[in-house]
């Protein structure tokens, strides 16, 4: 490789360790774990041990709940020129094994609980060698002499094999290169947040997904990485951490925002140091956003992205949220720095203002392709553009409003109905807490709209009442033909509502 092109996202850790060697880089709860210098030392020791075992380019899977030691582990892999395959800790061992097998990982690094679950599971395919994080054998990987510096790698070398959350079927590994991740980190700092060494990132969401990706921009600015002591998400614990640490930032899925908002309301106050919340990964409804802003103040920014263009297609800064009209609050904002984005018709040509079509984008943040899946890659990457599968429209200012995933659009009597629009209206009814709208097959209409409604605590809305409410704001043909009242909505471990499961439920028990 031409060394002048070399790159390694390890540079984010180098920046922090060079400038702030003695500052605490990782915390478990409020307890300091390691300084930036110590994290770099640990990562380089691991890099030395791994580089002696495997050539650059091999993959290593990480199966763990959130843990401060994932920071030196990830940087150690990158330091050795290896690719990390972070796996969602909440998956079934068989699903984990399928991802590990698909990735061709040479090793699995697993937390004690998940290592035990994997070792005891009845798996179709054998696992590669498994290291238990924290074990003696794992500790030995950090005991040798540190590598002098991180390996130089091609900017297009895979750094993170990001398995899509699979709400739409078998998960695929999006190949994210060092260049992709640096573009993501830079765009986050340019568009959405401005951390410094006096701030921190609280990992309330899984580090195997968005929160872990965001480690990079915060690390580059010398912000500490705070991992909740519970290793997971608990609204009360999150608020306590934002009392205990200064300058807190977090990436939260919209459902997590709702939970911490309710918890803060119960406490009767916002935490002292919640500085910045970037939400995204799924729709944030206008009603919820307003309630959250009323409780937490102007701390919110939004990202719209996907595993294939990590965290970075469009966004809305904190300033964009201030006094924004509902149309903007319900949008996903404007194109991000370093990204080009269009809304195109079926012929791939850009649509005029307000035309509804598929969102496509290109730029340094777009993945290299899907791992060992040329067919899926050819479907997603066409003429240099990433076809996101999301349907939306652009207004005259370039503000993107997402309608739905193309496959979630309900086609009833030949007309497109966007579930999100119906959901937004239902959520303005005081007796509705959460809602999810899907289409189910119907002999007359092709599909009809069905709303799954979680009533607000103590409320028992009737279908007639909700119907009347819809009619005040929606065209008659868009209103649900059936309501199903449920205590909660099925969600993936990343907080996305599993529409697939609701469709199966409808098929199993027709109304
Ligand atoms: P994943 O690759 O699992 O992160 O899922 C990405 C998908 O989540 C996108 O293609 C969108 O459908 C959805 N998504 C991401 N961010 C947002 C957002 N801010 N608002 C609405 N949907 C979003």
- Evaluate whether residue 207 is within a structural domain: no
Instruction: Tell the residue nearest (CA) to atom 20 of ligand 1.
Output: 283
Q: Which pLDDT score, from 0 to 100, does residue 298 have?
A: 97
DSSP category for residue 54: S
**Ligand 1 contacts CB of residue 315 (under 6 A):** no
pLDDT in tens, the chain (511 residues): 556 667 899 999 999 999 999 999 999 999 999 999 999 999 999 999 999 999 999 999 999 999 999 999 999 999 999 999 999 998 889 889 999 999 999 999 999 999 999 999 999 888 999 999 999 999 999 999 998 999 999 999 999 999 986 544 568 999 999 999 999 999 999 999 999 999 999 999 999 999 999 999 999 999 999 999 999 999 999 999 999 999 999 999 998 999 999 999 999 999 999 999 999 988 899 999 999 999 999 999 999 999 999 999 999 999 999 999 999 999 999 999 999 999 999 999 999 999 999 999 999 999 999 999 999 999 999 999 999 999 999 999 999 999 877 778 888 877 788 898 899 999 999 999 999 999 998 888 888 999 999 999 999 999 999 999 999 888 888 999 999 999 999 988 777 889 989 998 888 877 6
Q: Which pLDDT score, from 0 to 100, does residue 201 have?
A: 98
Q: Is 488 exposed, middle or buried (0-12, 13-18, 19+ CB in 10 A)?
A: exposed
Instruction: Please identify, by atom number, the ligand 1 atom nearest to the C-alpha of residue 494.
Output: 3
Separation CA 372–CA 483 (nearest Å): 42
**Ligand 1 contacts CB of residue 312 (under 6 A):** no
Q: What share of the chain is helix, strand, coil (3-state, %, to 5)?
A: 35, 30, 40
Separation CA 68–CA 65 (nearest Å): 10
**Ligand 1 contacts CB of residue 419 (under 6 A):** no
Work out the widest C-alpha separation in the chain, in whole angstroms. 71
- Evaluate whether residue 234 is within a structural domain: no
Separation CA 336–CA 282 (nearest Å): 17
Among the three residues 171, 186, 214, which one is the final residue of a domain in this structure? 171
- Evaluate whether residue 298 is within a structural domain: no
Q: H helices within 150-245, ranges in order?
A: 178-191, 210-220, 235-244
- Evaluate whether residue 476 is within a structural domain: yes
- Our count of domains for the chain comes to 2
Query: Shortest CA distance to 98 belongs to which of 169, 159, 50, 160?
Result: 169
**Ligand 1 contacts CB of residue 402 (under 6 A):** yes
Helices vs strands, H then E, count in the chain: 17, 25
Distance 302 CA to ligand 1 centre (A): 11
Query: Shortest CA distance to 62 belongs to which of 228, 171, 207, 251?
Result: 207
What stretch of H or E contains 469? helix 463-473
**Ligand 1 contacts CB of residue 333 (under 6 A):** no
Separation CA 348–CA 246 (nearest Å): 47
User: What is the DSSP annotation of 346-408?
Assistant: TTSPBPPTT--EEEEEEETTS-S-BTT-HHHHHHHEETTEEEEEEEEEE-TT--EEEEEEGGG
* Token pair recorded at residue 69: 């030691």
CATH number of domain containing 130 = 3.40.50.980
Among 390, 418, 423, the mutation site with the greatest number of ligand 1 atoms within 8 A of its Cβ is 390
Q: How far is CA 30 from CA 26, 200, 225, 229, in A?
A: 10, 11, 11, 8
Distance 52 CA to ligand 1 centre (A): 39
**Ligand 1 contacts CB of residue 128 (under 6 A):** no
β-pairing verdict for 224-227 and 200-202: parallel
- Evaluate whether residue 333 is within a structural domain: no
Residue labelled with tokens 């370093």: 338
Q: Which pLDDT score, from 0 to 100, does residue 45 have?
A: 98
CATH number of domain containing 440 = 3.30.300.30
Among the three residues 119, 148, 171, which one is the final residue of a domain in this structure? 171
Among the three residues 146, 171, 196, which one is the final residue of a domain in this structure? 171
Query: Shortest CA distance to 392 belongs to which of 362, 369, 420?
Result: 420
Separation CA 315–CA 192 (nearest Å): 8
- Evaluate whether residue 275 is within a structural domain: no
* Token pair recorded at residue 439: 């289409």
**Ligand 1 contacts CB of residue 280 (under 6 A):** yes
Distance 22 CA to ligand 1 centre (A): 38
End-to-end CA distance of the chain: 62
**Ligand 1 contacts CB of residue 335 (under 6 A):** no
**Ligand 1 contacts CB of residue 302 (under 6 A):** yes
- Evaluate whether residue 428 is within a structural domain: yes
Residues 6+ positions from 7 with CB-CB distance below 8 Å: 152, 153, 154, 155, 178, 179, 182
* Token pair recorded at residue 226: 């705070």
> What pTM did the predictor assign?
0.90
**Ligand 1 contacts CB of residue 48 (under 6 A):** no
Distance 280 CA to ligand 1 centre (A): 7
* Token pair recorded at residue 180: 């992709």
| Domain encompassing residue 474 | 409-508
User: Half-sphere exposure of 166 toward its Cβ, with a 13 Å CA cutoff?
Assistant: 17
Q: Which pLDDT score, from 0 to 100, does residue 416 have?
A: 82
- Could you tell me the sign of the dihedral formed by the alpha carbons of 233, 238, 239, 240, in that order? positive
- Evaluate whether residue 181 is within a structural domain: no
Separation CA 307–CA 159 (nearest Å): 13
């Amino acid at each position: 490789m031409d060394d002048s092109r070399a790159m390694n996202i390890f540079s984010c850790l180098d920046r922090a360790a060079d400038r702030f060697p003695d500052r605490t880089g990782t915390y478990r709860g409020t307890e300091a774990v390691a300084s930036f210098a110590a994290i770099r030392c640990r990562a380089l020791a691991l890099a030395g041990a791994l580089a002696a075992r495997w050539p650059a380019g091999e993959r290593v899977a990480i199966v763990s709940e959130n843990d401060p030691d994932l920071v030196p582990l990830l940087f150690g892999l990158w330091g050795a020129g290896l690719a990390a395959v972070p796996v969602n800790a909440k998956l079934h061992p068989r699903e984990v094994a399928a991802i590990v097998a698909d990735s061709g990982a040479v090793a699995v690094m697993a937390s004690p609980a998940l290592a035990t679950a994997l070792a005891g599971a009845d798996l179709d395919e054998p696992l590669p060698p498994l290291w238990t994080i924290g074990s003696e054998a794992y500790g030995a990987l950090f005991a040798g002499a540190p590598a002098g510096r991180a390996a130089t790698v091609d900017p297009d070398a895979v750094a993170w094999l990001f398995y899509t959350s699979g709400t739409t079927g078998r998960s695929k590994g999006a190949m994210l290169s060092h260049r992709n991740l640096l573009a993501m980190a830079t765009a986050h700092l340019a568009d959405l947040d401005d951390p410094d060494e006096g701030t921190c990132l609280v990992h309330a969401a899984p580090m195997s997904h968005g929160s872990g990706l965001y480690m990079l921009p915060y690390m580059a600015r010398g912000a500490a990485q705070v991992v909740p002591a519970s290793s997971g998400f608990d609204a009360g614990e999150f608020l306590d951490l934002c009392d205990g640490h200064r300058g807190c930032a977090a990436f939260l899925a919209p459902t997590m925002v709702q939970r911490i908002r309710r918890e803060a309301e119960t406490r009767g106050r916002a935490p002292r140091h919640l500085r910045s919340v970037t939400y995204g990964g799924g729709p944030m409804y206008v009603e919820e956003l307003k309630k959250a802003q009323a409780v937490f103040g102007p701390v919110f920014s939004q990202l719209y992205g996907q595993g294939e263009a990590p965290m970075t297609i469009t966004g809305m800064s904190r300033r964009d949220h201030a006094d924004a009209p509902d149309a903007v609050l319900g949008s996903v904002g404007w194109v991000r720095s370093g990204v080009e984005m269009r809304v195109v018709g079926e012929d791939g040509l850009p649509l005029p203002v307000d035309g509804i079509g598929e969102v496509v984008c290109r730029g340094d943040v777009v993945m290299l392709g899907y791992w060992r899946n040329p067919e899926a890659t050819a479907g997603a990457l066409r003429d240099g553009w990433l076809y996101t599968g999301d349907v939306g429209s652009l207004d005259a200012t370039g503000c993107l409003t997402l309608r739905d995933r193309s496959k979630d659009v309900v086609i009833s009597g030949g007309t497109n109905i966007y579930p999100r629009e119906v959901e937004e209206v239902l959520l303005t009814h005081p007796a509705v807490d959460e809602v999810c709208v899907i289409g189910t097959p119907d002999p007359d209409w092709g599909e009809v709209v069905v709303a799954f409604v979680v009533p607000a605590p103590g409320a028992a809305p009737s279908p007639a009442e909700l119907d009347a409410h819809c009619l005040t704001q929606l065209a008659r043909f868009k209103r649900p033909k059936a309501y199903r009242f449920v205590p909660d909505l099925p969600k993936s471990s990343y907080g996305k509502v599993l529409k697939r499961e609701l469709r199966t439920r409808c098929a199993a028990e027709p109304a």
